[in-house]
Amino acid sequence: MRYSQAFIHTLFEAPKEAETPSHIFLLRGSFVYPLAAGLYSLLPLGHRAVEKIKRIIREELDAIGGLEVTMPVVNPAELWKKTGRYFNIGDELIRFKDRRDRQFVLAMTHEEVVTDMAKQFVRSYRDLPVMLYQIQTKIRDEARPRAGLLRVREFQMKDAYSFHPDFEDLDGYYPRMFNAYLRIFARCGLKSTPIEADSGIMGGSGSHEFMLESENGEDHFVLCPACGYSANTEKAVGVKPGRPPCGEKAGEAPALEKVSTPGVKTIAGLMRFFEASEEHFLKAVAYVADGQLVLAVVRGDFSVSVTKLAAHLKAVQLDYAVEKTLLETGLNAGFLSPVGISGVRIVFDTSITGLELYIAGANEPDMHLKNVLPGRDFELKERADIAEVREGDRCSACGQADLQIKRGIELGHTFKLGIKYTAGDSMDVTYLNGAGEPNTVVMGCYGIGVERLLASVIERCHDAAGMQFPVAIAPYHIIISQLGNQPEVVAMAERLYAQLGSSREVLYDDRSESPGVKLKDADLIGIPVRLVVSRKLEKSGDVEIKIRQTGEVRICPERDLEATLEAIFKELEISIQNLPYMDERA
């Protein structure tokens, strides 16, 4: 492709809205063009890179028996009502009516549609297992799109769904998908960290998110440097350290004491007032879980994990309680306390024990309670792990090291769905087993955001000058930068373009721009191999080869060029195939 015809319009300066590297370079490099918040067109370069990612995904999924399909984005609402998601999902799901006033949704994922297909066609155990996948547009009215392609409202997702005769078969299949995911990300040049993810109300027996460690990610996960335990902070369990002795012995506990704390509003203020550190306080937070008021209580040095609390309560909808709700129940926002209230479900975190004294709110303005003893001053009935794990908490898996908290981008998610969508009270999908008895089909589902994967590669592979694509997903393999427009230079560049074009994807920069412009553009768009043709080189019959990733420069006689390039590409491609985590294939 000739650069002058390639619809590439790079930007000298980064548009001001862009802050993360992938966002900046995607815009500057003419890969994407923004249409509205979280909506992007893919320009020719971006489109080519995305198509290459899709090809890798197809190869890996086909290799584990996947069958590609395409399902509609417009779905009848009826189907989504059957699984309950029409009601359970908030504004993120776009709902609308057609001209006949029939209700529809724009699919944000395709469990309903694919399960409907399975219901129609899976009759016998002979039809199982089967894995269907598609690479299709997903629409989600995200509350806050951000960072270019990292979080958008319309994107292409590879979503795969597997159907199994029983949980055992799903458990057997799941590692194959797990490893296909590792291979897909590795082939894109990324080392992904699989972490345990929340399964919450979804039930099922397991879920993994594949994270790319990145400061610009929006997810947090913990990692144990000793045993490798890793999990989303929403789910991760750490050892909660006991608190240092506070001078009082529980056995001879002093009586509950009400203390006036006029004007003391903040935790910091209370700590000064009582001359006590955070862990001596009870922190109570009020939520409304599916319409029911719930008080969550954690030790003062922890915070409530909304995900863990929702999972514990099996709640579909969990929101902070508004002050009005609290007043109606006789509770006082800001001075919430488990002491002396009734008729409200209270969940205590496991950090709270009946052996320590605490300071708590008094449920009335400007009053706190001292010497609060769980078990004596309130019933310590419902205890669960509802606190968010913290950096430095001891690993609960091995007990050997302190957990680290990392930021990451979620590249993909695999999920043992179980029978959430196939159960009798959902879409009721059954097959006949060998004995002629009806059994419920068991499902798994697996997703990868394609454009996010592209952005993630750039987050990881770039320098100050621009992107540095691995060969496998670069929009072109080679860029020929013709410097100078003397006839013999042009002739040489044209010759190389014609010659190399048969075996490689070549972008030929034929513009009559100054050398600086061409070289900067070549760096910016991250083509792995750059060939320079100039008057000086032409005279000696040489071509300059520069490898984008390493910056290595070689001068090569024209007659040796093809062989040299093949050797270079072999090396570049092998260096990806040989990454250590490729050995994790099952």
Partner RNA sequence: CGGGGCGUAGCGCAGCCUGGUAGCGCACCUGCCUUGGGAGCAGGGGGCCGUAGGUUCAAAUCCUAUCGCCCCGACCA
Interactions with RNA, residue window 340-399 (CB under 7 A): none
Q: How far is CA 284 from CA 26, 64, 332, 387, in A?
A: 45, 49, 11, 12
User: Do residues 283 and 333 touch, judged by C-beta distance below 8 A?
Assistant: no
The 10 Å Cβ neighbour count of residue 115 is 27
Give how far the C-alpha of residue 279 lies from the chain's centroid of Cα atoms, to the nearest Å: 33
User: Do residues 160 and 131 touch, judged by C-beta distance below 8 A?
Assistant: yes
Q: Which residues pair with 407 in a beta bridge?
A: 220
Helix (H, G, I), strand (E, B) or coil at 441: coil
* 523 is a site residue for RNA (CB under 7 A): yes
Contact segment (CB under 7 A) with RNA among 18-26, 242-250, 377-385, 496-504 equals 18-26
Contact segment (CB under 7 A) with RNA among 13-21, 238-246, 398-406, 434-442 equals 13-21
Cβ of residue 548: shortest distance to RNA, in angstroms? 10
* 406 is a site residue for RNA (CB under 7 A): no
Kindly tell me which residue out of 127, 213, 218, 562 binds RNA, with binding defined by CB under 7 A.
Answer: 218
Cβ of residue 246: shortest distance to RNA, in angstroms? 30
**Comparison of 142 and 166: residue with beta carbon closer to RNA:** 142
Q: What is the DSSP letter of 378?
A: B
* 108 is a site residue for RNA (CB under 7 A): yes
Contact segment (CB under 7 A) with RNA among 7-15, 66-74, 115-123, 423-431 equals 7-15
Contact segment (CB under 7 A) with RNA among 42-50, 344-352, 373-381, 480-488 equals 480-488
Contact segment (CB under 7 A) with RNA among 129-137, 252-260, 274-282, 520-528 equals 520-528
x/- track of binding to RNA for residues 438-457 (CB under 7 A): -------x-x-x--------
**Comparison of 12 and 99: residue with beta carbon closer to RNA:** 12
71: exposed, middle or buried (Cβ count in 10 Å: 0-12, 13-18, 19+): middle
Q: Which amino acid is at 182?
A: L
* 516 is a site residue for RNA (CB under 7 A): yes
The 10 Å Cβ neighbour count of residue 334 is 12
Contact segment (CB under 7 A) with RNA among 63-71, 89-97, 341-349, 467-475 equals 89-97
**Comparison of 308 and 368: residue with beta carbon closer to RNA:** 308
**Comparison of 35 and 246: residue with beta carbon closer to RNA:** 35
* 118 is a site residue for RNA (CB under 7 A): no
* 136 is a site residue for RNA (CB under 7 A): no
Interactions with RNA, residue window 241-270 (CB under 7 A): none
For residues 520 and 12, give the distance between their C-alpha atoms in angstroms, rounded to a whole number.
9
* 314 is a site residue for RNA (CB under 7 A): no
* 537 is a site residue for RNA (CB under 7 A): yes
Q: Which residues pair with 162 in a beta bridge?
A: 131, 444
**DSSP count for the chain of H helices, then E strands:** 14, 33
Kindly tell me which residue out of 123, 191, 265, 536 binds RNA, with binding defined by CB under 7 A.
Answer: 536
For residues 30 and 22, give the distance between their C-alpha atoms in angstroms, rounded to a whole number.
12
Cβ of residue 214: shortest distance to RNA, in angstroms? 12
Contact segment (CB under 7 A) with RNA among 174-182, 184-192, 332-340, 531-539 equals 531-539
Cα angle vertex 429, ends 426, 430, to 5°?
Answer: 135
Contact segment (CB under 7 A) with RNA among 31-39, 60-68, 250-258, 335-343 equals 31-39
Between β-strands 74-76 and 95-97, what pairing exists: parallel, antiparallel or unpaired? unpaired
User: Do residues 427 and 115 touch, judged by C-beta distance below 8 A?
Assistant: yes
* 540 is a site residue for RNA (CB under 7 A): no
Give how far the C-alpha of residue 44 lies from the chain's centroid of Cα atoms, to the nearest Å: 26
Tokens of 488: 């013999």
Q: Which residues pair with 2 in a beta bridge?
A: 508
* 36 is a site residue for RNA (CB under 7 A): yes
Kindly tell me which residue out of 63, 67, 74, 143 binds RNA, with binding defined by CB under 7 A.
Answer: 143
For residues 169 and 509, give the distance between their C-alpha atoms in angstroms, rounded to a whole number.
53
* 44 is a site residue for RNA (CB under 7 A): no
Tokens of 433: 């087993």
Tokens of 80: 């989504």
* 58 is a site residue for RNA (CB under 7 A): no
Helix (H, G, I), strand (E, B) or coil at 255: coil
In 3D space, the residue among 53, 135, 36 whose CA is nearest the CA of residue 474 turns out to be 53
**Comparison of 258 and 535: residue with beta carbon closer to RNA:** 535
Kindly tell me which residue out of 70, 90, 580, 583 binds RNA, with binding defined by CB under 7 A.
Answer: 90
349: exposed, middle or buried (Cβ count in 10 Å: 0-12, 13-18, 19+): buried
* 547 is a site residue for RNA (CB under 7 A): no
Question: Using N-to-C axis directions, what is the helix angle for 450-460 and 44-63, rounded to 10°?
Answer: 110
**Number of residues engaging RNA in binding (CB under 7 A):** 66
For residues 88 and 92, give the distance between their C-alpha atoms in angstroms, rounded to a whole number.
11
Cβ of residue 409: shortest distance to RNA, in angstroms? 12
The 10 Å Cβ neighbour count of residue 257 is 11
* 517 is a site residue for RNA (CB under 7 A): yes
Q: Which residues pair with 553 in a beta bridge?
A: 546
Q: Which residues pair with 292 in a beta bridge?
A: 289
Kindly tell me which residue out of 51, 59, 62, 92 binds RNA, with binding defined by CB under 7 A.
Answer: 92
For residues 455 and 136, give the distance between their C-alpha atoms in angstroms, rounded to a whole number.
18
* 291 is a site residue for RNA (CB under 7 A): no
* 19 is a site residue for RNA (CB under 7 A): yes
* 240 is a site residue for RNA (CB under 7 A): no
- Name the site residues for RNA (rule: CB under 7 A): 10-17, 19-20, 23, 28, 34, 36-38, 85, 89-90, 92, 108-109, 138, 140, 142-147, 157, 159, 202, 218-219, 306-307, 318, 320, 413, 445, 447, 449, 465, 483-485, 512-517, 519-521, 523-524, 532, 534-537, 544, 546, 553
